[in-house]
Amino acid sequence: MKYRVEYDSMGEVRVPEGKYWGAQTERSRNNFPIGINEETMPKEIIHAFGILKRAAAEANFELIPERMTKEKLDAISRVCGEITAGELSEHFPLVVWQTGSGTQSNMNANEVIANRANGLAGKKLLHPNDDVNMSQSSNDTFPTAMHISAVLSIEDRLLPALDLLINTFVRLEEENAGVVKSGRTHLQDATPIAFSQEISGWRASLEKDRKMIKSSLEGLYELSLGGTAVGTGLNAPEGFGEAAARAVARLTGKPFVSADNKFHSLTSKDELVFAHGALKALAADMMKIANDIRWLASGPRNGLAEIYIPENEPGSSIMPGKVNPTQCEAVTMVAVQVMGNDAAVGIAASQGNFELNVFMPVCAYNFLQSVRLLADAIRSFNDNCASGIIANREKMRSNLYGSLMLVTALNPHIGYENAAKVAKLAYKENITLREACVRLGFMSAEKFDEIFRPEDMV
């Protein structure tokens, strides 16, 4: 492999020829060979750096044009456009497991932008620190990238997927109006419920989760740019944070603003903890919904078998004809991962010491993985499972009329204790509730038929 020599404040570094990164990126690449190829900095963070570096250059051009010239702004903007388009991904090789402030990834962005722009210009136009990093610090750019990437991932990827599943449940409610089945509590038979009511519970859970996720975005819209090293704004012109936030808002179409208190925004990650809590709530509900669906579809002969779900692939290497609820299983595994990520995000956020949190890369990594997994799993679950749910109405009716808990309808007529006797006799003798009630002398067969209407119990 051919190399070129790059320099930083510590001296010479050999960098692979053809790569736009510079000395500090290469030092990090060599010093942190941890999880290479599996756990590089999330692409969402790199995308966010492309946005924020352009926004910072625009703010600098507005406030200090004598330093950030139009030529430099245009060069930075062009390369940042390539970064956000994913065209320079190969030049961002660093892993998550680096300095806790994300300094090396900030410098990776600075070096790539400078070197790419200089190559296009055919001259030494930009310096990574003096120009691309002007008015910034890793300490305020990395948390800004975290918030930008979190907002874009949630709004542009997760919420649309969630809306798909909500709409599917709305359709299933309408299609199954009037279908009555046995309810279940404690995994035991309970009083009747309409299948549409059961589905509405799933839908309402997701709608609640959506509202909670949306409410968490308010804190994520706040950006720490302008705080520089410790929150004082040293080396940044007055108004830089506000100007940069306006530029980010314009570039993304999202209502980003400058954080009121930069001392807080540099060291606290509470907004990410709060938002991930909403993601965990969604994961918990998806776990519940997926479990309900695979239980209702269990069988096909020795389970509940009250619904049919799409058959997507063979389910066994040894049992011919077996088909499993694989989409449900994928969702539940994703839910477990998100719950684990929540612990990592919370612990990472608790490690703010004095003026800086130095667990930001691992916090961002877990947060963005949760959003990505939930979005992908929900979309797959919707397309390959939920959208194809069909009620087995015959089985639902059979289970409904075989349920001993229909005896609850007799309470107002013969009392709780007598109704319990009816249920116990029916179970012991394997007879119907009607036969048991008549045998015990609590009610005539005609009277029983008059008041015993399961469809009216919902």
The three-state (H, E, C) secondary structure of 347-371, written as one string: HHHCCEECCEECCHHHHHHHHHHHH
First-to-last alpha carbon distance for the chain, in angstroms, is 73
- For 131-169, b/e burial (b = at least 16 CB within 10 A) is bbbbbbbbbbbbbbbbbbbbbbbbbebbbebbebbbebb
C-alpha span between 447 and 425 (Å, rounded): 19
Please give the distance of CA 43 from its chain centroid, rounded to a whole number.
15
The tens digit of pLDDT for each residue in 359-399 reads: 999 999 999 999 999 999 999 999 999 999 999 999 999 99
Contact criterion met (CB below 8 Å) for 330 and 380: yes
Q: What is the pTM of this model?
A: 0.94
Question: At residue 136, what are phi and psi to the nearest 5 degrees?
Answer: -130, 170
Question: Which residue reads 């919707």 in tokens?
Answer: 382
* DSSP one-letter string for 412-432: HHH-HHHHHHHHHHHHHHT--
C-beta separation of 96 from 362 below 8 A: yes
Decide: helix, strand or coil at residue 224.
coil
Q: Residue 270 and residue 276: Cα distance in Å, rounded?
A: 10
What is the C-alpha to C-alpha distance for residues 55 and 257, in angstroms, rounded to an integer? 12
Q: What tens digit of pLDDT does each residue of 41-74 get?
A: 999 999 999 999 999 999 999 999 999 999 999 9
pLDDT of amino acid 9: 92
- Chain centroid offset of residue 115 CA: 35
Q: Can you list the residues of the chain whose pLDDT is less than 70?
A: 36
Cα atoms in the Cβ-side hemisphere of radius 13 Å centred on 384: 17
From the centroid of its chain, how far is CA 256? 20
Contact between residue 408 and residue 189 where contact means Cβ atoms under 8 Å apart: no
Q: What is the pLDDT of residue 34?
A: 83
Q: What is the DSSP letter of 87?
A: T
Cβ–Cβ < 8 Å for 146, 360: yes
Torsion 38-39-41-44 (CA) sign: positive
Question: What's the pLDDT at 314?
Answer: 87
How far from chain centre, in Å, is Cα 196? Answer: 27
- Helix intervals (H) in 262-385: 262-267, 270-296, 326-349, 360-384
User: Pick from 35, 64, 212: which is nearest to 136 by CA?
Assistant: 64
Q: Which two tokens stand for residue 319?
A: 């049992």
3-state DSSP call for residue 400? Answer: helix
- Count Cα neighbours of 116 within 13 Å in the Cβ-side half-sphere: 27
Residue with tokens 């194809």, as numbered in its chain: 388
Integer Cα distance of 142 and 77 in angstroms = 19
**Residue 31: which H helix or E strand, with range?**
helix 23-31
Q: Which residue has the tokens 């790199």?
A: 46
Catalytic residues: 186, 316
Give residue 214's pLDDT.
Answer: 98
Q: What is the pLDDT of residue 131?
A: 98
Residues 265/271/272/277 CA torsion (nearest 10 deg): 160
Q: What DSSP designation does 158 have?
A: I
